[in-house]
Amino acid sequence: MDQSESRTMGIIALVVGLGVMGGVMWWVFQGTQAPAEPEPITEIIDPPASDPEPIPSAPDIPEPPAPEEAPAEPTQASEPPSPPEPPKPSLPALNQSDALVREMFQQQVAETDYQLWWQPSNLLQRWITVIDGVSKGELVKGILPIQPPKQKFPVRKVSEGVYELDEAGFTRFDAYVDMVTSIDPSYIAKSFHTLRPLLEEAYGQLGKKPETVDNAIIQAIDTVLNAPISNEPLKLLAPSVSYVFADEAIEKRSPIEKQLLRMGPENTEKLQHYLRTLRSELMGENAS
C-alpha cells in the first residue's frame, strides 16, 4: 500500500469514526512503498503518552435540549393512572460496547463492501484514538482494516526526478467519500449524545481529560475544514521510494492536509461540505 492510499484511509476513518461514535474518518497507515499487510492489532489498544491538556481552540458540544413535556390530559376519576415510563436501558460497559456500536452504524451503512470496517474489537477506543490524532493533524497507524483503493497511486513524469499528481487518480476515492457523506449527519449527532459517556471513558484511557472528548471531535472536524484546496497540478519529487511534494511549503503541512490534497479538490470539497453540516448538527445550530 503506498503512502497516499494508506493515509487516505485516515481521512475516511475520521468521518466513519465520527459516525460510529457520533457515531463516522480508522486506519491502516503505512509507507509509500510496496503493498504490505496491516499491522496486527492487539485486543487492547495501548494509549499514547499522557497529554491531559484540553484543546482550548475547539468549543464544547452542548447537550441536546430536553424535549418539552406535553400537558397532562384530564382523566376520569374512575380511570387508573397510567403506568410510569420504563427507564431507558443503560449503556453497556465500554469493553462490551462493540455489538451496540455495530448495530447503530450498520443501520446506516448496509453495503457489504464496508462490513470489514466494523469487525475489529474495541471499536470506540479505535475511533477515539484516530480522532485524537486527526485533531492534531496527525495520522494514526494500523487502527482499522480499511482496504485502500485497488488502483495504484498515479503520477505523471514531468522531467528527470520530477512528477505531477495525476488527476485521474482522484476518482479512486470517490466511492469512499460517497459512502461516508451518505450517512445522515443528524443521526451522527444523536448517536454522539447516546454514546457520549462511553466516548469520554475511551478518551480518558488515552490519558486525556474525559470531558474534553467533544473538543477533540470538533477540533478534528475543523482540521479538515481548514485544509487548503488546490486546483492546480501539484509537483512531486522522488528522493527515495516515497514521493514528496516539490513545494516545501506544502510538504511542511500536516499529514492530514497533504492527504486531502492527494484526494483531489472535488472529493475534499464534498467532504468539507459534509463535515460543515455535521459540525452544525453536533453544535445544535440546526435545531428548530
Reported as a single tens digit per residue, the pLDDT across 2-56 is 555 545 555 555 565 554 443 334 332 233 333 333 333 334 444 444 454 544 5
3-state SS, 99-166, equals HHHHHHHHCCCCCHHHHHHHCCCCHHHHHHHHHHHHHCCCCCCCCCCCCCCCCCCCEEEEECCEEEEC
Reported as a single tens digit per residue, the pLDDT across 179-235 is 888 888 998 899 899 999 999 999 999 999 999 999 999 999 999 999 999 999 999
Reported as a single tens digit per residue, the pLDDT across 67-108 is 666 555 555 556 666 655 545 558 999 999 999 888 887 767
pLDDT at 180 (0 to 100)? 83
Spans of all domains in the chain: 3-59+94-150+170-226+265-282
Select from 226, 263, 268, 246 the least CA-distant residue to 58: 226
pLDDT at 21 (0 to 100)? 40
